[in-house]
């Protein structure tokens, strides 16, 4: 039988505020346990939550970016359950009335076609703390630094049909929240993670199959592997005549498999009700207009503009628009030189490779946009060849110096003096009579070899176009 997969994702995206969603403690990652736990974080008797207004703006930005409805009135509710790292015994979240609903995002699929994926809702909530089991002498430690960190939970429609598509969707959301400046998207630190709802059904069947939920997937790779495993598992169960049990499962990356959580942990009745400590969030048109006016250019619009304005290849566009920082870097370089494709090639090529090797983000690049532009200008004005430029680039990266200084101190300036070049060409012709003969006999390709010999003799500093020209003249072709 042929099977069809239906996937919906719930992405938990940590919002990049300085302080918590309802309290004053810092949200910075990596502090000593419980040093970022104010009284509100700790749920002390008598303290009350006060909404951090920044998160409302951030949620609205996201809503506008996915063309969603920004609710004029949204309500925080309490989700009640007992857990040691949940200080109040309830999580404050939005339930019936989320701040953002009915949006969508467009994916470009592997075959180049586009697919629109619905986003049911995005709501604000607070994160829980962490239970620590390692090095705790058999006990459980509680770290509440993360408790009360603002999250935007982004819930897709069940419209994704493969693990690959799910990852594609997740990457697009990841890209978007970083563009919007509302999240650092750091997956290692748990700032961006997701739960996946997965079901399979015979191809063509309307009715959805029974779904399982995979919890807490925190890398693109795990999302793909976990979903693929789960699809295979469900198909196997069904093909063996069994039934899929609706349950919550965890992905074990070490074993590359999913396992059911104990029934008890999911048999919760959360007893949601509106939180009486918080007023409804009421947003008027003026607020939304204000947020809209401050919106940055979004990835798809930027990609379209890069194609139109710079005539770049799709692969380069994808890479250059992957993050706002990369796009900004590219545009800063491109603004200072004539050949925009040269800028694209260098940012997408040499620079990206160097950043990858060093494990650096473009914002932390050892060569800034203006420095790279300085280098590319030397290519454009024929001071150096592309090949020498790579050497200069490497030196700039290592030494932190500007291109001009390196070119000068190392004497890398291109030889364009015809007299000097002619002498060298004569020498190469004299040294390679066999190849000269072949060329004269019609083997055009050999010219490249001869040019190469001249380049070699000048340690790459000769202007290749010029060498070409002189060679042809001398060989009488």
Applying CB under 8 A, which residues contact other proteins?
A: 39, 42-51, 78, 80, 82, 84, 87-90, 140, 142, 269, 271-273, 275-279
Closer CB to other proteins, 204 or 276, in the complex: 276
Closer CB to other proteins, 82 or 434, in the complex: 82
DSSP label at residue 115 = E
Closer CB to other proteins, 50 or 301, in the complex: 50
* Residue 254 CA neighbour count, 13 Å, CB half: 0
8 Å CB contact between 80 and 268:
no
> Residue 110 Cβ, how far from other proteins at the closest point, in Å?
42
> Residue 214 Cβ, how far from other proteins at the closest point, in Å?
24
Pairing of strands 141-143, 100-108: unpaired
Closer CB to other proteins, 147 or 450, in the complex: 147
270: phi then psi, degrees, rounded to nearest 5: -80, -10
Closer CB to other proteins, 89 or 349, in the complex: 89
Closer CB to other proteins, 89 or 181, in the complex: 89
> Residue 43 Cβ, how far from other proteins at the closest point, in Å?
5
CA 188 – CA 227 distance, rounded (Å): 19
> Residue 47 Cβ, how far from other proteins at the closest point, in Å?
7
> Residue 38 Cβ, how far from other proteins at the closest point, in Å?
10
Neighbour-count burial for 259-290, b at 16+ CB within 10 Å, e otherwise: eeeeeeeeeeeeeeeebeebeebebeeeeeee
Closer CB to other proteins, 45 or 204, in the complex: 45
DSSP label at residue 477 = -
Both tokens assigned to 437: 């003969």
Query: Read out DSSP for 25-66?
Result: SB--TTPSTTSS--HHHHT-TT------HHHHHHHHHHHHHT
> Residue 324 Cβ, how far from other proteins at the closest point, in Å?
34
> Residue 219 Cβ, how far from other proteins at the closest point, in Å?
29
Neighbour-count burial for 423-437, b at 16+ CB within 10 Å, e otherwise: ebbeebbeebeebbe
Residue 174: closest CA among 401, 49, 29, 11:
11
Closer CB to other proteins, 43 or 148, in the complex: 43
CA 174 – CA 184 distance, rounded (Å): 9
> Residue 337 Cβ, how far from other proteins at the closest point, in Å?
52
8 Å CB contact between 230 and 258:
yes
8 Å CB contact between 121 and 12:
no
Enclosing H/E stretch for 19? none
Closer CB to other proteins, 84 or 202, in the complex: 84
> Residue 146 Cβ, how far from other proteins at the closest point, in Å?
15
């Amino acid at each position: 039988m042929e099977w069809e997969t239906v996937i919906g994702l719930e992405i938990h995206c940590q919002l990049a505020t300085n302080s918590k969603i309802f309290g004053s403690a810092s949200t910075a990652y990596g502090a000593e346990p419980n040093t970022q736990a104010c009284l509100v974080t700790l749920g002390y008797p008598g303290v009350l939550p006060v909404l951090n207004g920044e998160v409302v703006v951030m949620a609205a930005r996201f809503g506008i970016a996915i063309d969603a409805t920004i609710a004029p009135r949204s309500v925080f509710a309490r989700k009640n359950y007992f857990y040691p790292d949940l200080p109040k015994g309830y999580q404050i979240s939005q339930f019936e009335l989320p701040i953002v609903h009915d949006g969508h995002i467009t994916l470009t699929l592997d075959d180049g076609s586009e697919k629109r994926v619905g986003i049911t809702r995005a709501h604000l909530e607070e994160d829980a703390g962490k239970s620590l089991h390692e090095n705790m002498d058999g006990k459980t430690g509680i770290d509440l630094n993360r408790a009360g960190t603002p999250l935007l939970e982004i819930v897709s429609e069940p419209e994704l049909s493969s693990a690959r598509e799910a990852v594609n969707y997740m990457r697009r959301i990841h890209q978007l929240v970083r563009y919007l400046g509302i999240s650092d998207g750091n997956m290692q630190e748990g700032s961006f993670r997701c739960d996946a709802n997965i079901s399979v059904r015979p191809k063509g069947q309307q009715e959805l199959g029974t779904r399982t939920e995979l919890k807490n997937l925190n890398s693109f790779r795990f999302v793909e592997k976990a979903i693929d495993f789960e699809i295979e598992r469900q198909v196997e169960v069904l093909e063996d005549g069994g039934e899929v049990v609706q349950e919550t499962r965890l992905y074990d990356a070490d074993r590359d498999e999913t396992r059911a959580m104990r029934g008890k942990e999911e048999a919760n009745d959360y007893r949601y009700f509106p939180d009486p400590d918080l007023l409804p969030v009421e947003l008027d048109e003026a607020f939304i207009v204000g947020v809209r006016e401050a919106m940055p250019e979004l990835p798809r619009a930027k990609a379209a503009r890069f194609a139109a304005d710079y005539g770049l290849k799709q692969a380069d566009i994808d890479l250059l628009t992957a993050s706002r920082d990369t796009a900004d870097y590219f545009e800063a370089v491109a603004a200072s030189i004539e050949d925009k494709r040269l800028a694209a090639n260098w940012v997408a090529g040499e620079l990206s490779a160097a950043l990858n090797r060093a494990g650096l983000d473009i914002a932390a690049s050892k060569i800034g946009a203006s420095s790279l532009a300085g280098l590319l200008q030397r290519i454009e004005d024929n001071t150096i060849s592309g090949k020498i430029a790579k050497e200069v680039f490497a030196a700039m990266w290592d030494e932190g110096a500007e291109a001009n200084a390196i070119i000068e101190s190392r004497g890398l300036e291109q030889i364009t003096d015809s007299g000097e070049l002619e002498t060298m060409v004569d020498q190469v012709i004299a040294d390679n009579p066999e190849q000269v003969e072949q060329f004269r006999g019609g083997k055009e390709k050999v010219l490249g070899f001869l040019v190469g010999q001249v380049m070699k003799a000048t340690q790459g500093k000769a202007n290749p176009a010029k060498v070409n020209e002189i060679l042809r003249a001398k060989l009488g072709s």
